[in-house]
Chain A
Amino acid sequence: MKKIKIVVIGNGMVGYKFCEKLMSKAKADQFEVVVFGEEIRPAYDRVHLSAFFDGKTAEDLSMAGVDWYLNNGIKLHLGDPVQQIDRTKKTIHSYRGITESYDYIVLATGSAAFVPSIPGVEKDGVFVYRTIEDLEMIRAYAPKARKGAVIGGGLLGLEAAKAMLDLGITDTHVIEFAPRLMPRQIDEAGSKLLQGKLEALGLTILTNTNTLEIAGDKAITKMKFANDTSIDVDMLVISAGIKPRDEVAKLCGLEVGQRGGIVVNEQMQTNDPFVFAIGECALYKGMIYGLIAPGYEMAEVVAANLTGGKKEFLGFDMSTKLKLIGVDVASFGDPFVPANEARVIVYEDTNKGIYKRVNISKDGKELLGGILIGDAEQYNMLLQTCKNKIVLPANPEDLILGSRGGESDGGAGVTGLPDDAMICSCESISKGDICQAVMDGAETVDKIKSCTKAGTGCGGCVPMVKDLMVHTMKANGKLVRNVVCEHFAYSRQELYDLTKIGKLHSYDEVLTAHGKGDGCEVCKPVVASIIASLWNDMILKKGNDTAQDSNDRYLANIQKGGTYSVVPRIPGGEITPDKLIVLGQIAKQYNLYTKITGGQRIDLFGAHVGDLPAIWKLLVDAGFESGHAYGKALRTVKSCVGSTWCRFGLHDSVSFAIEIEERYRGLRSPHKLKSAVSGCIRECAEAQSKDFGIIATEKGWNLYVCGNGGSKPQHAHLIATDLDSATLIKYLDRFLMFYIKTADPLTRTATWLNKMEGGIDYLKNVVINDSLGIADELEKEMQLLVDAYKCEWKEVVDSPELQKRFSHFVNVPTEKDPTIKFESMRDQKKVVDWK
């Protein structure tokens, strides 16, 4: 069968996406595809172009390398725009003189920056913001410039302004013709608030300003405006909108819109049925869709129709959420419904810089659209509510304010949602679906997952699913016990006490005494961790080795591809040159990728499981010990330079960090523990974002607890001030032991505190005032653990029996897994990415 020949004109994001979609749908040898691109690079991510100034390379932004086209049999001509289409002969001619025949053409020529005809636009120092080349020229020119300006206060203009700031041009003006910023996406009040935020960052915003002339000899020096004012400028970026690239289409007689754009129908066909247009060059029902999602949808439509499917483009929701110079900006549905056609609820907090607006239908039942600035956390839920016409709650202001009833924050958020609210957006599962599943008997998260699929995508909604399950069961009068899993009808705290009282030392003993069945991947690590927290035995002792979580079992973190990372402890981040050299030598000998971690130590990645004991022998011989990066245990105690070197330092934070890290090293706990010590209130060690943090004062140390970085940052609470070192350690012993005894599995200290009845006051009372009368016991228990500490890796290095488990093949122990593949990146290796 003769192949159908498709010529794709344009190799931007949408042009590439079309190729990708066509390849995934096509049968082998169904199509011959030839691509012509004007730029010298294959398609790259133009949406994140600004990341180019944050250190991303052109390669990082690439959608797919030249190899991809080669492997898929696509002929790719770069730096060679198509100049002519002969629709009668069905051939095209390119700039470099290539002639190709075609069965179909897909025009994906995109758009160009719209440059208004202002006298002087041709001067040096005037740029547009569209391609990597533009950005390279901007970057090359920037060191010469001190005063910058951007024409255009829309999305792209503000991106360009951020780029100027990133390039060190702190004196930058944004010039907008309209009375306000982002006039197409947000309303006046929103614009005003956004403007305030941007001005606080150092930008000067001129609205209602029409540029008449760009002045200067050869290069720009001044901009003159219609209101008789002017500013000195030595670099200008024009970002005043886009114009569709329809030149080739126009030349061959295809129908184009009055203000540009190639006219297409629902199948993305132009008036010639053999020529399609997609992306920003296409004009559908008088509209150019300048976002990436509708562009991809158009690519999908053409790819589907060419491969025998039936699909139509029916317009596209232009809702959008983005971060502009660190400020959340979102608009959805119809953001501008006039006040006489809708009820409008507005929430504004100028102190925090938050503006929220929702437009509600006059009958109060439907959400029509809205705007979020400064805090767009509710965007997804609002968008779902708007798109699905979900009936609104009685107090629709709750949508943007959250429920403000008497209940605690924990469950109220979920229970307040309407039944139609989308909980799992990966699988489109609503609250009603989940509650129904619970009523039908799915009374564990696992069961809910398997019968509804909720939580099986990104997993982000699992805590909500669990809350919903608990709430639904309680509402049905069922006793909800916070149990570990189907094998143990106890909470972690109960299991901890039972294991302690029974002096149980292995997982099987605990399961036989207090559980049923054969255990699972949930209860095994929980019990293994409890046993380690109680007795501090070697965790790989026979019987407990296979109950450890996967990383604990190999005393290393499994990484993509199945290799492991090696993280020796570097207490307080202090390391001698000799030890640094040893790390370098080992990394070279075993070809390991090296990276400095956020916790002030050095990660060595890409070790084969069989090499781990040998690598650790070298490390142990050089005086290193395990860093427990693989365990739910103390990770690092970060420190600033401290008073030994720093001219501001009040106390020696490094020595104290080392003392603390060495005291609690290897301490197994319900979740990982991070800590830091800062030598003064400048807080360079970021102690207030840690599970426990210590900051030097004139008189001693301040102790902070239950902070968190990660996905839900939380500041730590100050629980005691001006302590001497011994008292601080006493308090820490109590705090950590109390956490270990009472927290649920995989609960960080911050979450533990959030769930604690009585909150920080209660915790303070237990730790400082010994309100439960257990302080002595807690301190003694901690001292036992501290005294029983041994380096796990040293024990493995000294034990041939333990080393036996570190091989990939049981029947060929010396052979490594042949499927592990590496490639190189910035002079180091990286694992070949998974699909």
Chain B
Amino acid sequence: MSELKSTKVNWFYACEASDVPENGGVCVKHGDDQIALFNFTRRGEWYATQNMCPHRQQMAISRGMIGSQEDEPKVACPFHKKTFSLKSGACMSGDDYQLKTYPVKIEDGKIFIDVK
């Protein structure tokens, strides 16, 4: 979870916190973009990344399992189990892929994603 005090932020209301399963993800529609939003209850953290897995261009990251590898939070794409850091978006299974990540904040049980 990160709250950037940047002047150029654009907080987009995604959904209620209760809409997202514990330790799981959902997909948020923002215009033509698809954003994967994760409720990492076990760590008390929220993360957002692009929903498209760069390996086979599938809209599926939000349906992936989340977890950690030596304390780095990660998500595994359901198609071929490529794993990505939820913090940096970097691929952790040895490929040269990168997910876009977004800051997330929670206010009064509402989830906002910075889509600047």
Contact = CB atoms under 8 A, between A and B. Distances in A.
Q: Do A and B bind each other?
A: yes
Nearest to B81: A521
A697 interface: no
A603 to B, nearest CB: 18
Contact of A546 (B29, B32, B56, B65): B65
Contacts of A815: 29
B28 A550 contact: no
Interface in B1-52: 14-15, 19-24, 26-29, 32, 34, 37, 40, 42-43
A350 interface: no
Contacts of A819: 34, 59
B50 to A, nearest CB: 12
Contact of B23 (A546, A549, A561, A810): A546
A709 B81 CA distance: 25
B94 A524 contact: no
A542 B95 contact: no
A740 to B, nearest CB: 22
Contacts of A519: 42, 67-68
Contacts of A805: 21
B29 A812 contact: yes
A317 B26 CA distance: 51
Contacts of B71: 517
Contacts of B101: none
Contact of A558 (B78, B83, B92): B78
A201 B43 CA distance: 65
B98 to A, nearest CB: 15
B56 A521 contact: no
A562 B26 CA distance: 14
B64 interface: yes
A217 interface: no
B26 A810 contact: yes
B68 A517 contact: yes
B76 interface: yes
Contact of A550 (B19, B22, B64): B64
Contacts of A820: 59
Contacts of B92: 450
B24 A546 contact: yes
A456 B67 contact: no
B14 A558 contact: no
A420 interface: no
A818 B31 CA distance: 12
A550 B65 contact: yes
B63 interface: yes
Interface string A516-545: 011111011100000000000000001101
Interface residues of B, number: 43
B38 to A, nearest CB: 10
Contact of A453 (B34, B68, B79, B94): B94
A517 to B, nearest CB: 5
Nearest to A451: B94
A524 B27 CA distance: 21
A487 B34 CA distance: 31
Contact of A518 (B22, B37, B42, B93): B42
A820 B19 CA distance: 24
Contact of A562 (B58, B76, B95): B58
A817 B67 contact: no
Contacts of A809: 27-29, 34
Nearest to B30: A811
A810 B20 contact: yes
Interface residues of A, number: 44
Nearest to A450: B94
A174 to B, nearest CB: 45
A561 B59 CA distance: 8
A456 B93 contact: yes
B65 A549 contact: yes
B68 A518 contact: yes
A449 B59 contact: no
Contact of A811 (B14, B32, B42): B14
Given A520-B68, A811-B28, A834 B58 contact: yes
A55 to B, nearest CB: 28
A213 interface: no
Interface in B90-105: 92-95
Given A519-B67, A520-B69, A809-B28, A834 B78 contact: no
Contact of B57 (A817, A818, A835): A835
A518 B40 contact: yes
Contact of B59 (A511, A523, A524, A562): A562
Nearest to A812: B29
Contacts of A811: 14-15, 28-29
Contact of B67 (A520, A553, A808, A835): A520
Given A545-B24, A809-B29, A810-B27, A518 B60 contact: no
Contacts of A562: 58-60
Q: Which of A456, A508, A545, A808 has the most CB of B within 10 A?
A: A808
A440 to B, nearest CB: 16
A221 B14 CA distance: 79
Contacts of A453: 94
B102 to A, nearest CB: 14
Nearest to A525: B65
Contacts of B93: 446, 449-450, 456
A349 B44 CA distance: 65
B57 A834 contact: yes
Interface in A165-217: none
Nearest to B32: A818
A554 interface: yes
A486 interface: yes
Interface string B71-83: 1011010110101
B108 interface: no
Nearest to B19: A810
B16 to A, nearest CB: 9
Contacts of B66: 518, 546
B107 interface: no
A820 B51 CA distance: 13
Given A561-B58, A834-B58, 10 more contacts: A486-B69, A518-B40, A518-B68, A520-B76, A546-B21, A546-B65, A551-B78, A558-B78, A562-B58, A811-B14
Query: Top 3 A-B pairs ranked by shortest CB distance?
Result: A550-B78, A546-B24, A520-B67
18 contacts: A446-B93, A449-B93, A450-B92, A456-B94, A456-B95, A517-B68, A518-B66, A520-B67, A520-B76, A542-B21, A545-B24, A550-B78, A809-B29, A810-B15, A810-B19, A811-B14, A811-B29, A835-B57
Interface of B: 14-15, 19-24, 26-29, 32, 34, 37, 40, 42-43, 56-60, 63-71, 73-74, 76, 78-79, 81, 83, 92-95
Interface of A: 446, 449-450, 453, 456, 486-487, 508, 511, 517-521, 523-525, 542-543, 545-547, 549-551, 553-554, 558, 560-562, 805, 808-812, 815, 817-820, 834-835
